Amino acid sequence: MIIISNYELQEKTDDKFYVRSLEPFLCPCCRNDSMNVIGSRPRKYLQEDASQVTLIIRRLRCTECNKIHHELPDILVPYKRYKSECIEAVVVKGSNAPLTVACDESTLYRWKKWFNSLSEYFAGCLQSIAIQLGKETEEASKPKSALHRIWHYVGNAPGWLARTVRPLVNSNLWVQTRSAFLSNCV
Ligand SMILES: [Zn+2]
């Protein structure tokens, strides 16, 4: 899995789009910058009003380690059916990205539970990535809660969940949760 933030959506039909990447490849597993496009597959997602969009995403194979990666635009969270913006608006009470999301209570509950169970991990990963990049700041200035530590690294402006997901996925640190096995999303 690779998350891209620089891409264009090219309309195929009314609700179907090709994702055209405008950024270079970098394998999350071995950091090699060469991949072959070996195919594509549809990846559906739901918007806040529960309307469905289909993206045609590419399957890439790393020429070095041979791992296969799907290339997802950063509006999505791996294995989640709704777009990132919807999940972001729900997982944090009083989020500054308020959206009314049309989905049932159990889905909202699952998203909150998912985020709460992984937020410490996300904050830790962002910290280790910052250390690797030599960007880590003083320990004493860091906020205590996992969410505030996440915001410390990616900011709290709308899109913070997408900015959290991207570096984790692209560093091969994304964890697949149990519900992912029950869906056929990538
Ligand atoms: Zn590789």
Q: What is the mean pLDDT of the chain?
A: 90
| 135 CB neighbour count, 10 Å cutoff | 9
Helix (H) or strand (E) holding 27: none
pTM of the entire structure? 0.89
Write b or e for each residue in 33-59: b if 16 or more Cβ atoms lie within 10 A of its Cβ, otherwise e.
eebeeeebeebebbbeeeeebebbbbb
* pLDDT for residue 177: 67
Q: What does the pLDDT look like over 33-50, one tens digit per residue?
A: 999 999 999 999 999 999
Among 73-77, 96-100, 166-170, name the one with the lowest average pLDDT.
Answer: 96-100
- Residue 179 has a pLDDT of 57
Distance 69 CA to ligand 1 centre (A): 9
CA of 53 to the centre of ligand 1 (A): 30
Neighbours of ion ligand 1 (CB under 5 A): 27, 29-30, 32, 62, 64-65
Which of the four pLDDT bands, split at 50, 70 and 90, describes residue 186?
A: confident
- Which residue ranges make up each domain of the chain? 2-173
Arithmetic mean of pLDDT, 78-90: 94
Using pLDDT thresholds of 50, 70 and 90, give the confidence band for residue 94. Answer: low
The DSSP secondary-structure symbol of 93 reads: T
For 120-150, what is each residue's pLDDT tens digit?
Answer: 999 999 999 999 888 886 665 667 899 999 9
CB burial string 78-117: b at 16+ within 10 A, e below: bbbbbbbbbbbbbbbeebebebebebeeebeebbeebbee
What's the gap in Å between 130 CA and the centre of ligand 1? 22
Per-residue model confidence as pLDDT tens digits over 4-30: 999 999 998 878 999 999 999 899 999
